Chain A
């Protein structure tokens, strides 16, 4: 009896995978390659598609850098609970998990838009946030910051602070302690957080759509390109860029599984 349950249990899992991952993935790939490699390649390497893919790459890259420099101190701030304001920081970091990306994008327009006070102020020093690259990065950072913080806070708490104190007594400055004691031990959590960030940045749509205005060859990312192409019934182009994004996600998932296994092993060692 239990064997039947087990078999049907895994059958359901596989069916689920097939229905929601396998079939759509294959459909996108076949759609992209329906006319063979040449049209696929032409679509992906068209000026507009290349620009969109590069834009997504650039936003992701900058977001990763910003998240790393902001996320690590924030994670310490929250994990330590000694510096006042940590509750506020935690609240701000967790907000995006509850807020719709479109709302987040709109909020950025309200604050940084050309008709808003801050937006106009920044424009006088020639910094354009809304409908421009900075705004898109800002939206992506806002939405992805929780990942790195969420991954590292438990790790920081598990390690505690006696190793840090040991390093201080042995003559290491706080900065050196971060490099020699903290980062090597937070490595796997950070990488996992960064992988999640990358995945989210690749796929981000709503917030970026609102904040960028989706201007072709100016603020159009890969997901915006796919949307625009499908709306314009340029299905070949939509499939081609989708397939590229899907492949990137596939490799990311494989990388994350690897990180989880290796990181999990090194954590168990503790």
Chain B
């Protein structure tokens, strides 16, 4: 089901403004990663979709129906909690069948569906175990099975992998994506891990201080960030504040192109990704900067250079190029791509 937020605002009792006039549309069958630093309102957005929170202002639509005042019981939404929130007194089987029982599905059907999910989640041998007898990854899969059992129209994950080891987190991430592809259900997951969001999501919703900064594909938010926040939050970046002069802006003695609509002599923020800078050795007079340190990082080498204005830049050189500049080398820089935002 499609999800739409129209000017949604959420003020908690006590006056904390968690979400401030948020509008966005999520298409049917999409998998969207909700990304933002802590306190950006991402969990609130999720809870507004479930109905566990009601908006102070604005409307929430699910599948073309206004659900703003609908209680969570009637929204047919699946939610996987951050700490799973499994029913501790129930077996894996009973946890998964919980929602089906509430829907008054026949016993036969319940059994069929639960067995199917146990198989799908590779949990068959754990049906009679209690949650505290399972590992974190297994509990996570039970939580997912429990959410999927009543065939929700929307599946939501609240920081689903936060409490799991790196290795298993990778596996689960792939698994969740696989589940999404097989069920085709519209899914949202909250995360503060951008790598996770970029890897798993069809589109990423970037939130900051309770506002939508951008909603776009991973490529869009990375290659065409719409705001300074998105540019600096997603991926590594060098950020410099500069005044605009005669329609261009200069960093490290390199003139960069600027959107002509920006007013002259305004302060702007210049963002250059480390991968968008090329360096080559040059004589001290011609050079822009001097290498301070470089480090091998697998797919690329990171190189820190100091410009003549004493600013430190991070530059990434693909490992295929094989040349690592040693500390002290003078280099010329070429900026392949940059973003300029009004302040």
Contact = CB atoms under 8 A, between A and B. Distances in A.
B190 to A, nearest CB: 15
B81 A172 contact: no
B88 A163 contact: yes
Interface residues of B, number: 27
A96 B62 CA distance: 52
List the 8 closest A-B pairs by CB distance, nearest first. A170-B99, A162-B85, A171-B102, A166-B85, A168-B72, A169-B79, A184-B89, A172-B102
Contacts, number: 65
A163 B79 CA distance: 11
Interface string B137-153: 00000000011001000
Contacts of A181: 87
B16 to A, nearest CB: 15
A24 B74 CA distance: 62
B77 A169 contact: yes
Contacts of B167: none
B55 interface: no
Question: Which of B52, B85, B99 is the most central at the interface, judged by chain A CB atoms within 10 Å of its CB?
Answer: B85
B237 interface: no
A157 interface: no
A10 interface: no
Given A162-B81, A162-B83, 4 more contacts: A165-B52, A168-B52, A169-B73, A270-B88
A111 B275 CA distance: 82
Interface string A164-181: 011111111100100011
Given A162-B83, A163-B87, A269 B150 contact: no
Given A171-B73, A171-B150, A173-B73, A165 B98 contact: no
Contacts of B210: none
Contacts of B74: 171
Question: Which of A168, A171, A173, A184 is the most central at the interface, judged by chain B CB atoms within 10 Å of its CB?
Answer: A171
Contacts of A166: 79, 81, 85-87, 146
Contacts of A165: 52, 72, 79, 81, 85
Given A163-B88, A171-B150, A173-B73, A269 B132 contact: yes
A185 interface: yes
B50 interface: yes
B253 interface: no
B103 interface: yes
Contact of B73 (A162, A168, A180, A184): A168
Contacts of B78: 169
B61 interface: no
Nearest to A171: B102
B99 A163 contact: no
Contacts of A169: 50-52, 72-73, 75, 77-79, 147
Given A162-B83, A165-B52, A270-B132, A170 B89 contact: no
Nearest to B73: A171
A169 B49 CA distance: 11
Interface string A140-167: 0000000000000000000100110111
Given A171-B99, A270-B132, A185 B79 contact: no
B263 interface: no
B285 to A, nearest CB: 64
A243 to B, nearest CB: 40
B71 interface: yes
Contacts of A170: 98-99, 102, 146-147, 150
